[in-house]
Amino acid sequence: MTDARPLDPEATQPVTASAATRDSAAPAPALPRAYWQDEISEQKALARQTLQALRTYRAAEVAMRRRTREAMSMTEDEMLALRFLLRRADRTARPAELAHYLGITTADTNALADKLQRDGRVERVAGFAIDRSASIRATESADAEVRDTLNGMHLRMYAAAMKLTPSQHRHVTGFLAAMTDAIDSVDAQ
C-alpha cells in the first residue's frame, strides 16, 4: 500500500510525523485535517491555510454560479456564453469566437444561440462584411436580468475589496495572478 499523502515539494519522500519532528525544534502549528496532512513549517502552514481559503472561496463561487444558473433557468454553457458577450463593449461576438471560448463546436454554438434567442437573451445581428457571418449579441434585457440577479453579490464583493490597503491589493492581485498562471499551465491529460 502506498502513502497517499503528497510529497513535500522540497523532498523526494512523503513527510512523516517523526521526520518533521526531527527536522524542526518547534512543533508545527495545528491545522484542521485537509488535503495536505504532513507536519509542516510555519511558512508551509500559512501557504496551506491560504490555499485552503482559496478552495473554500472557489467552492462558494461554484455554488453561487449553480444557484444563479438555476434561478435564471440556464445551463452552464448558456451562462458562460452570456457572460462572455456581456463583458464585451458591444455585447457581440461571432459564433466562431464564442465556440472557441466555450470549447464547443460551431454547430453546438448555433444550437446554444438558438436557445438563448428563444429565451430573449441574445439576438442575431447580420454581418456587415461579405465574409462575416451573423454575430450574436446579448440583449439589453439579458444584461438587466444578470445585473438584477447578481447586483447584491457584486456590491458585497466590491465592499470587501475596498477594505484592502494599496499594499494588500498588490499582494492579493499578485498572488491571484500567480495562481492563474499555475492553473493555466496544467496540461490536459
Q: Which residues pair with 92 in a beta bridge?
A: 137
Instruction: List the CATH code of the domain at 75-145.
Output: 1.10.10.10
Whole-structure pTM value = 0.60
Distance separating alpha carbons of residues 85 and 165, to the nearest angstrom? 32
DSSP 39-66: ---HHHHHHHHHHHHHHHHHHHHHHHHH
Provide the residue type at 120 as one letter.
G
Position 99 scores a pLDDT of: 94
Per-residue confidence in pLDDT tens, the chain, 189 aa: 444 444 444 443 444 444 444 444 555 555 555 555 556 688 888 999 999 999 999 999 999 989 988 888 899 999 999 999 999 999 999 999 999 999 999 899 999 999 999 999 999 998 665 555 789 999 999 999 988 888 888 999 999 999 999 999 999 999 999 999 998 887 755
Q: Where are the beta strands (DSSP E) in 42-186?
A: 92-93, 122-125, 135-138
Contact present, 93 and 109 (Cβ < 8 Å): no
Where along the chain do its domains lie? 75-145
Position 144 scores a pLDDT of: 92
Position 37 scores a pLDDT of: 53
